[in-house]
Every structure is written in structure tokens, then in C-alpha cells.
A and B are shown apart, each in its own frame.
Chain A
């Protein structure tokens, strides 16, 4: 039972570089989410996707783009990384309108 799988687990980037965080779920869920977790701030929603082909902005979307490639996969792209985007990123999925299953996160450092 894989659940929600995120890759990579760790990444270090230089300011201005781009990268894509990958997420896949094998539970046939319609809803998928991207969150960032920073110390003392809980989790903040970056983008979500209610179903294949749809995406919507969350609380902190600036500097990010997403793609819902198919029902299984939801990727998060940083076009020009900034130090303020250093964080732990979590992907989640659910059958409802709230996240139920999270991946183990991508720890991203931007120098």
C-alpha cells in the first residue's frame, strides 16, 4: 500500500533555479493538495485540485505553479526558487474536501 508518494525526499537548490516536486497517489482519490510546513506556522495550502483537469489557488500560491497530469499525479513547480521557499512540502489526497492522506514530504532548501 503506497498511498501518497512524493519525490524527491530532499533537495537543495540555488536561488533562481527551477524544479518540480512530484506527487502520486494510488487510492483513486479525486482531491489532491500541496501544502508547505514552516516552523510555528502549521501547514499552509499552496494549491489544490478538486478533480482531474482542475486546479485552484490556496492560501500561499505566489511563486508556484501546479499541474494535475491525471487522476493519480499532481506536481508542484517552482519556476525561480527564492530563499523564502525553503520549507517542507507535503502532498495530500482525499475523497472529500479535506486532506486525509499525506505523503512523507519533500525537504527543500534554497541557498
Chain B
């Protein structure tokens, strides 16, 4: 069974909208939470990552929110553009472990 549960499976927004992707985990040993972006026919690319000592991290138009007590974290894409249309994966692992557990992915479509 997947250690990181991701939702929704897909979503469609209009240009300028804010798609939100949610992830939840149970393993309290997880303390590193990256997000990856994947375009069709390409490999994933590391987008942004957060550690549980902060509740929010922003990089450009991408923001991660983290709720340690609820064991949940989410990705917000501000002012979304058609070029942001891709599949997004959340992931989690303990800091010094190589074994990263991925969510199932969310396909985001941004309509012009």
C-alpha cells in the first residue's frame, strides 16, 4: 500500500486559478517532503521541498503548506499558466534514508 496518499487524481483550472494538490502520510519518521513535476514523455523534475520545521515554503508561483499535526501537506500553484499543465507527485521520506515514497500523482490541466 502507498505510504503517501495524494488527491485529487486530476483537476482542471482556468488560467490564473490556483490548483491545490493534497497529500497525507502516516509514517511519523518522514521528515522530508519534496514535490516533482512531470511533463508527458519526460522524467520527473524536483520542483520544491519542505522539512517539518516550517509550515510554508514558497518558490516563485509554487507554495507548499505543511501541517505536521495532521500529517498533511499540499502544493498550491499561484496564478497558474497553461505551461504548468503537468503531472505533479508528492513524496516523503526520513531525512537520511534513500527510500522516497511517492504519491500516485495528480494531472493538472490549466486552460487558457
Q: Which of A4, A43, A103 contacts B102 (CB 8 A)?
A: A43
Determine the chain A residues whose CB is within 8 A of the CB of B34 once the complex forms. 98
Q: Flag if B2 contacts A48 (CB, 8 Å).
A: no
| Size category, B interface | 20 to 34
Q: Flag if B105 contacts A99 (CB, 8 Å).
A: no
Q: Flag if B97 contacts A102 (CB, 8 Å).
A: no
| Size category, A interface | 20 to 34
B44 on interface, CB distance cutoff 8 Å: yes
Shortest C-beta distance, B30 to chain A (Å), equals: 12
Question: Complex formed: what's the CA distance from A4 to B43 in Å?
Answer: 10
B46 on interface, CB distance cutoff 8 Å: yes
Q: Return 14 A-B CB contacts under 8 Å, by A number.
A: A33-B98, A40-B105, A42-B2, A42-B89, A42-B102, A42-B104, A43-B89, A50-B98, A58-B99, A90-B44, A97-B97, A98-B49, A99-B46, A105-B42
Q: Flag if B103 contacts A98 (CB, 8 Å).
A: no
Q: Flag if A92 contacts B98 (CB, 8 Å).
A: no
Q: Flag if B100 contacts A99 (CB, 8 Å).
A: yes
Shortest C-beta distance, B49 to chain A (Å), equals: 8
- State which residues 42-95 of B face A: CB under 8 Å: 42-46, 49, 89, 91, 93, 95
Q: Which of B9, B32, B89 contacts A98 (CB 8 A)?
A: B32
Question: Complex formed: what's the CA distance from A40 to B9 in Å?
Answer: 8
A104 on interface, CB distance cutoff 8 Å: yes
B28 on interface, CB distance cutoff 8 Å: no
